[in-house]
Structure 1
Amino acid sequence: MKTKNKLQLAPIPRLENISKEDFKENYVKPQKPVVIKHLVDDWPATQKWDLDYIKKLAGDKVVPLYDDRPITSKQKFNEPHTKMKMAQYIDLLEAGPTNYRIFLYHLLKEVPELQKDFDFPDLGIRFLKQLPTLFFGGENAKVFMHYDIDYANIMHFHFHGKKQCIIYPPSESKYLYKVPHALISREDIDFNNPDFEKFPALKNAKGFITELNHGEALYMPEGYWHQMTYLTPGFSMSLRATPRNLTNFSKAVYNLVVMRNFDNFMRKWKGQKWIDYKNERAVKATHKKNNIQV
């Protein structure tokens, strides 16, 4: 793992395995992240799931792809940038670095055979029983810093290769240049090589870092910010549990019902001026909160 000399990032604790009692008491209740290395060793997915297997079962499926271009007023919330067949996409991943990613894709619905390969771990939290979503990326592909719209407790399982995860608790939001009426930080922040002259508040943010290997699980508590970098081509799956905190549940409802629709409306009405305004406000508001003069 590369050493991070600038951002204040502590390693996420890594355990071989854990009981549901210890998981609830030591991580869910205090809302602390953890990596569990052998939680799903008994899943068929742990033995079977790699890019070749996905290509064999789902090669004909047309999948939505995203890259790292900045959000514009022409795009709706989570609108893909292009589409191609899964087999073509996996060939692209294996050919070398690419920015194209698959985000929140319901592959298990499209390919029911994959549903036999996993189960919901008995960890003492109530996972939503809807089919989980998958995420794919090529070498060096990055997912911008964000938190999830539903404030879920997330178990994030990685397959095929390595993935770097940088995460921050909600308490650090004031340092992360959060874009108003959105779930993201400024997209021009490179969390692997941050520009502290342009974004000085980042120096104060205290977060965590880890690398996920094949079959490992990362627990991210509700409302945690996360930024992912695929160190090799690979894919991940997330299981979700509803927020335990009533305040976070209320925020999730607001995000889903009000914020998302308001932002889409303003994009249509104001166009790029709305995007530019939000990015400008992210900087001004962060610097004001932290008494930073630039």
Structure 2
Amino acid sequence: MGLNLEQIPRVKTISKADFITHYFKPQKPVVIERFIEDWPAYSKWNLDYMKEIAGHKTVPLYDDRPVDYKDGFNEAHATMKMSDYVDLLKREPTKFRIFLWNILKEVPELQKDFSYPDFGLRLMKGLPMLFFGGKDSYTFMHYDIDLANIFHFHFEGKKQCILFDQNQNKHLYKIPHSLITREDINFADPDFDKWPALKNAKGWICDLNHGEVLYMPEGYWHYMRYITPGFSMSLRAIARNPKNLMKALYNVFIMRNYDNVMRRLQGQKWIDRKNQKAITNTNRYLGSD
């Protein structure tokens, strides 16, 4: 038995009105299959092109090691030239990923290859971010600090996406004062004997292919696994739900700073305490549904 996951709806294309009515207002995810075929990026963007245009850049790399109290916020685990990193991706499986790589800052010419689509939401035009990964690399289950609406465009190969909304928090072994679940949960093949509450969680799943875009509503948890080497670009729009906007402000200005202070004061004890609390909090709800 696996997780209780529903396939994310798929459409070929969609109008702004239909997107707002059927997906944004009810806050449901959707995969749009043929939305960017007129972008130069659709035919140009692959790993070889990234190596050609950004091969000289030194890129920050992250893997799946557990959070350490000494790590700074989003502190890289390694660095490498983009050309060497692309060679690594194509040569063998690797846990190393790139995330939150700002196109405008790092390779401004890439912005000529795409446009900002009109979904009826105001996209943050200063924050087009790229994410790269090797075969079988994955992100921890997490949600974004600003609880934004996210449009996730995938290029080259295939990646698997598992989503949960914020109503599922009590089933997911969420770490307090953070944006992640327990890092030792394998969401691709969860151990229900060890993590029984996951049986109660209801979520969504899809495989994203080259040129497809996934809409992730505000605050959705997401786990991404690269089935083949590839990369994606996220465009985001600020949370419109006042409750989510307040949560985002709390996360940025209070929660993150509080967590950093406690790491400095208590070190690994703070991390261990939060990990244990994730189990205690979740077990409290087991059998209550």
Query: What is the TM-score normalised by the length of structure 1?
Result: 0.96
The ranges of structure 1 where at least 4 consecutive aligned residues each deviate by more than 4 angstroms after the TM superposition are none
> How big is the shift at 1:126?
1.0
The reply on whether 1:146 has 2:121 as its aligned counterpart is no
Q: In the alignment, which of 282, 286, 294 is matched to residue 282 of structure 2?
A: 286
Q: Distance in 1 between matches of 2:103 and 2:244?
A: 28
- Asked if 1:204 is matched to 2:188, the reply is no
Please list every run of 5 or more consecutive structure 2 residues that lacks an aligned counterpart in the other structure: none
TM-superposed CA distance for 1:129, in Å, is: 1.6
Give the match for residue 218 of structure 1.
214
Please tell me the residue identity of whatever aligns with 1:134: L
- What is the SS of the residue equivalent to 1:30? coil
Q: RMSD of aligned C-alpha atoms? A: 0.9
Q: 1:94 aligns with which of 79, 90, 115?
A: 90
Deviation string 1:159-200 (CA, Å, 9 cap, x unpaired) is 010000000111111100000000000000000110111110
Tell me if 1:272 matches 2:271: no
SS for the counterpart of 2:141 is strand
- What is the rounded CA distance, in whole Å, between the counterparts of 2:287 and 2:250 in structure 1? 29
1:42-191 mapped onto 2 (5 Å cutoff): 42-191=38-187
The answer for the alignment partner of 2:31 in structure 1 is: 35
Whichever residue aligns with residue 171 of structure 2, its letter is Y
**SS of equivalent residue, structure 2 residue 145:** coil
Deviations 1:100-156 (A, max 9, x none): 000111133211110100111111111112130100000000111000000000000
Identity of aligned residues (%): 61
Q: What corresponds to 1:10 in structure 2?
A: 6
Query: Structure 2: how far apart are the matches of 1:110 and 1:148?
Result: 22
Ranges in structure 1 where 5+ consecutive residues have no aligned partner: none
Distance (Å, rounded) in 2 between the aligned partners of 1:289 and 1:248? 23
The 1-side partners of 2:82 and 2:135 are apart by 17
> Does residue 263 of structure 1 match 2:259?
yes
In the aligned structure 1, how far is the partner of 2:127 from the partner of 2:266? 36
Q: What SS does the corresponding residue of 1:74 show, helix, strand or coil?
A: coil
Deviates more, 1:126-135 or 1:206-215: 126-135
Question: How many pairs are equivalent?
Answer: 288
